[in-house]
Amino acid sequence: MQQFDLIITGGGILGTFHAFHALQKGLKVLLLEKDSYPVGATVRNFGQVVPSGLADKWFNYGLTGLALYKSIQQKGDISVRQNGSVYIASDDDEQLLIHELKTHYDNIGYNALLLPAKEINERYPAIKREYAKEALFFPEEISVEPDKMIHRLHAYMQESFNNFHISYYTPVTAIEETQSQIKVNNQFLANKVIICCGHEGKLLFPDIFTNSGQVVSKLQMLRTIPMPELQLNGNVLTGLTIRRYESFAANCPSFNHVQTPQHYEELKKWGIHILFKQATDNSIIIGDSHEYAPVSQSDDLGFHTNHYINELILEEASHIINIKNKQIATCWSGFYAQHNEKNIFEYDITPQIHIRTGIGGKGMTAGAGYAKESVDLLYGN
């Protein structure tokens, strides 16, 4: 039976960076992924790394992750592009909020620039002039290609760490503690196990997950055909995002006093806010929506995509850029778990078996930084 210092279940962003930081401490690490390759939230998102959208300690985790992505990119191509993030305000209320957020980031020394309408048009000619009143730009932020990044990161880790082992198509169905050792699938031994299972709550300790307080969010996203005629560099976030993201809610004094315009009401009902990210092949990822169910009832969300929701997303997107239904190449549903009160689900089953999951939509931005602190707390600095 193979022996490891640490076994991690789940090869997505959270599990992978737990492995990365443990490897930095010299530990022998085994990463177990239940599918042939990661197919969950880590690859079904925009690929936006946007600390500016987070608040409090999660903003700091985002900064740690931002620096780490850039550092790894210097050693091996994991698809990082530094084209910044921009929040585009479409009315007076949204302008007020970006000004207040600018003040907050000025106070803590995080680089942010206000862009007048003319400069938005110069930087982002694909954005319709009648939509963009003003914008807030964060030049340090990056994007990655979600369908490529995690695979390249695994490959980089395999090349860089002799004590790193990864096994795909290995669902973990049994973890038991025997004396001072943890036995996994009756096949591997470890001193410690960390479970980073995304929204999967049925294979291991289902009672714990059922009572965890987590919910599963279902998102719908679309991707266009390659459209080089539309230049949308970096992470493009719009008015509905300004009205939704936690950085605005936590740091803008006027946030709770801003009224929702009538034409946004149906969009908010489905948790829709509009973001764009142009991929390296010039296709554009557009989204997204949010529907929720308790983790034990996540199957009720269904595997389908709701055509009405896609139409709502596309209609709002067409007010911002020139996009038509016939230019949509594909659409999909993504799922992630989140804990609305704690922002993440942390549970220590024993001193050697730990659950760290339910990071919500913050994983791509904050997962790397959170994982560093998590490993530091488990193993010491």
pLDDT of residue 279: 94
Nearest to 168 by CA among 32, 40, 42, 43: 32
Q: State residue 80's pLDDT score.
A: 97
- pLDDT, tens only, 99-158: 999 999 999 999 999 999 999 999 999 999 999 999 999 999 999 999 999 999 999 999
Residue 312 has pLDDT above 90, yes or no: yes
CATH code, domain with 134: 3.30.9.10
Q: Are residues 71 and 204 in the same domain?
A: yes
- 3-class DSSP string for the chain: CEEEEEEEECCCHHHHHHHHHHHHCCCCEEEECCCCCCCCHHHCCCCEECHHHCCHHHHHHHHHHHHHHHHHHCCCCCCCECCCEEEEECCHHHHHHHHHHHHHHHHHCCCCEEEEHHHHHHHCCCCCCCCCCEEEEECCCEECCCCCHHHHHHHHHHHHCCCEEEECCCCCCCEEEECCEEEECCCEEEEEEEECCCCCCCCCCHHHHHCCCCEEEEEEEEEECCCCCCCCCCEEECHHHHCCCHHHHHHCCCHHHCCCCHHHHHHHHCCCCCEEEECCCCCEEEECCCEEEEHHHHHHHCCCCCHHHHHHHHHHHHCCCCCCHHHEEEEEEEEEEECCCCCCEEEEEECCEEEEECEHHHHHHHHHHHHHHHHHHHHCC
**pLDDT above 70: percentage of residues in the chain:** 100
Average pLDDT over residues 9-16: 96
The model's confidence at residue 178, banded by pLDDT at 50, 70 and 90, is confident
Q: Based on the fold, state whether residues 329 and 349 are members of the same structural domain.
A: no
Same-domain check for residues 71 and 192: yes
Q: Place 172 in a pLDDT band, splitting at 50, 70 and 90.
A: very high
Compute the average pLDDT of residues 1-17.
95
Q: Residue 181: which CATH number? A: 3.50.50.60
Indicate if 42 and 98 belong to the same structural domain.
no
Mean pLDDT over 39-49 rounds to 91
Both 324 and 376 in one domain: the answer is no
Residue with tokens 């719908």: 220
Does residue 311 sit in the same domain as residue 232?
yes
Report pLDDT for 365: 96
Stretch 201-217: mean pLDDT: 89
Domain extent for 368? 1-82+143-213+341-381
pLDDT recorded at residue 1: 83
Does residue 186 share a domain with residue 68?
yes
The predicted structure's pLDDT at residue 200: 84
Q: Same structural domain for residues 63 and 2? A: yes
Is there a cis peptide before residue 93, judged by omega within 30 degrees of 0? Answer: no
pLDDT score recorded for residue 180: 81
Please give the average per-residue pLDDT across 18-31, as a whole number.
98
- The pLDDT of residue 381 is above 80: no
* Rounded percentage of the chain residues whose pLDDT exceeds 90: 86
201 and 327 share a domain? no
Sequence-separated (6 or more) residues with CB below 8 Å from residue 5: 22, 27, 28, 29, 190, 191, 192
Q: Are residues 238 and 306 in the same domain?
A: yes
How confident is the model over 11-36, as a mean pLDDT?
96
Number of domains in the chain: 2
pLDDT tens per residue, range 263-309: 999 999 999 999 999 999 999 999 999 999 998 888 899 889 999 99
Residue 202 has pLDDT above 90, yes or no: no
The residues near 122 (Cβ < 8 Å, ≥ 6 apart) are none
Residue 201: pLDDT band (50, 70, 90) is confident
Say yes or no: 8 and 95 in one domain. Answer: no
278 DSSP β-pair partners: 284
Q: Determine the pLDDT at residue 18.
A: 98
Is it the case that residue 179 has pLDDT exceeding 90?
A: no
Query: Does residue 173 sit in the same domain as residue 234?
Result: no
Confidence of residue 187 (pLDDT cuts 50, 70, 90): very high
φ and ψ at residue 365, rounded to 5 degrees:
-85, -50
